[in-house]
Amino acid sequence: MSNHIPLTFKLWKPHGLLDMSFSEVVDSDSAYVYVITMEWKDVGSWEAALKNEASKQLEDDVKNFTNAKPIFVPGKLLG
């Protein structure tokens, strides 16, 4: 993850990624290990970034530290 998080920001910032945070899940019974929260310029920016060639590079990097597939849960910041 020490490579993946900076790589994600570097590749997606030009597409509208504004900020991101990275958390480790503390519940040992959870199906999840990490949560990454990303703030985007708008939903269209996020959708365009997913279709961009850079996303393939990020997908390939995920294989370096897990065999799990990322789960994306888009949301709208309310406060």
Residue 16 Rama label (left phi>0; alpha psi -120 to 50; beta): left
Tokens 């990303």 -> residue:
38
Measured N-to-C along each axis, helices 53-62 and 43-51 cross at an angle, to the nearest 10 degrees, of 70
CA–CA separation, 25 and 48 (whole Å) = 28
Q: What is the mean pLDDT of residues 63-70?
A: 84
Q: What is the pLDDT confidence band of residue 79, given thresholds at 50, 70 and 90?
A: confident
Q: What is the mean pLDDT of residues 5-15?
A: 93
Q: What is the pLDDT confidence band of residue 20, given thresholds at 50, 70 and 90?
A: very high
For residue 36, give the nearest of 57, 15, 21 by alpha carbon.
Answer: 21
Instruction: Find the radius of gyration of the CA atoms of the chain.
Output: 13
Q: What is the pTM for the complete model shown?
A: 0.82
